[in-house]
Amino acid sequence: MKKKLPIYTTPEGRAKYMAAYEAMFSLWTVPYDAIDIQTRFGSTHVNASGPSDGHPLVFLHAASLSSTAWFANIADLSANHRVYAVDAIGDAGKSIAECLMEKRMDYAEWLREVFDGLNIKKGSLLGHSYGGWLALNMALAYPDRLQKIVLLAPAASIYPMSLLTNLALRIPLPFRPSARSVFKMIAAKGTVFEETFIHLMEMVTRYCLPAIMFPTVFTDEELKQIDLPTLLLIGAGEKIYNPKKAINRAQRLMPDLTAEIIPKARHVLTMEQPEIINTRILRFLNSD
């Protein structure tokens, strides 16, 4: 299916999605500032929390989730950091793409412009799933703008995704499964998701067709170049690839890597095991 803009199927659908997006802030337990950054690729929306003088920490969400999905992590991670939760351009959220981005360098340039617009000379970058791929891509192109990177179950990036995952993401289905059924498949057994979040994802399923580049696996040579301090966390039950094989490859190639498999978690580890994830991230960010 050829990607196109705008990503919302109808104006009415966009309005319903935006209402669900705003409702998500009932789950954020900290104040936030809404910021819009103009880039050559379009307007990028950012939700920022934490002390204005805190070290900058930029969040990149998983595909379709939007910046609002960090509700289980934002309070702990913004206590001492200035957190900038970005809506990825071309994806669900409040960012408005003015052109399709179809090259890796486009995404790196876009993020560099977001950093410039936020006056971040050097900050840390945290990405979940697709956001992890974006973070690694930025680390390759502009390592001088980053202090540390955190990768949470990065999509592709380190290890090829399973055939089933590739087929599910690439081939249009005659019907779109409900958000509840999708998250039941990719989350650890017993995980209970906030109904406000499920409703938001249902609005994505009904009214949104993200226009984003499919994530790729980085070569051995590329991963060897990433000598920034990096934290890699993958759920023990991850289904998009074998978590042990992914971590083994990353440990073999990346010079300054801390990696851990998180028990009782699959792909949505930020919501499945938020306390463990938040603790591991803060320990890493606060270490020398």
CATH (domain of 211)? 3.40.50.1820
pTM of the predicted model, to two decimals?
Answer: 0.95
Domain containing residue 143: 11-286
pLDDT for position 285: 98
pLDDT for position 171: 46
pLDDT for position 288: 79
- φ/ψ bin of 154: left (φ > 0), alpha (ψ from -120 to 50), beta (otherwise): beta
For the stretch 272-279, contacts whose Cβ atoms lie closer than 8 Å and that sit 24 or more positions apart, written own/partner, are 272/187, 272/188, 272/191, 272/235, 273/235, 274/72, 274/73, 277/73, 277/152, 277/233, 278/73, 278/76, 278/77
Per-residue burial over 127-149, b = 16 or more CB atoms within 10 Å of its CB, e = otherwise: bbbbbbbbbbbbbbbeeebbebb
pLDDT for position 36: 98
The alpha carbons of the chain give a radius of gyration, in whole angstroms, of: 17
Whole-angstrom CA distances from 92 to 60, 98, 226, 274 are 12, 14, 29, 23
Is 35 within the bounds of a domain? yes
- Lookup: tokens for 84: 């900038």
Is 203 within the bounds of a domain? yes
Is 6 within the bounds of a domain? no
- Condensed to tens digits (0 to 9), the pLDDT of residues 98-143 reads 999 989 999 999 999 999 999 999 999 999 999 999 999 999 999 9
pLDDT for position 1: 46
pLDDT for position 2: 58
Is 3 within the bounds of a domain? no
pLDDT for position 186: 84
Mean pLDDT for the chain overall: 93
pLDDT for position 232: 98
Is 5 within the bounds of a domain? no
Q: Strand pairing partners for 259?
A: 232
Q: Which residues of the chain have pLDDT under 50?
A: 1, 163, 166-168, 170-171, 173-174
Q: What's the per-residue H, E or C state across 221-269? A: HHHHHCCCCEEEEEECCCCCCCHHHHHHHHHHHCCCEEEEEECCCCCCH
pLDDT for position 122: 97
Q: Peptide bond preceding 210: is omega within 30 degrees of 0, i.e. cis? A: no
- φ/ψ bin of 234: left (φ > 0), alpha (ψ from -120 to 50), beta (otherwise): beta
Residues noted as catalytic: 267
pLDDT for position 170: 47
pLDDT for position 188: 87
Q: Could you tell me if 28 and 74 are in contact, meaning their C-beta atoms sit under 8 angstroms apart?
A: yes
Question: How many distinct structural domains can be found in the chain?
Answer: 1
- Lookup: tokens for 161: 């995704």
Is 2 within the bounds of a domain? no
Is 4 within the bounds of a domain? no
Residue 78 burial by CB count (10 A; 0-12/13-18/19+): exposed, middle or buried? Answer: buried
Is 24 within the bounds of a domain? yes
- Condensed to tens digits (0 to 9), the pLDDT of residues 166-194 reads 444 544 544 567 888 888 888 888 899 99
Task: Spell out the residues 6+ positions from residue 1 whose beta carbon is closer than 8 angstroms to its own.
Answer: 172
pLDDT for position 185: 84
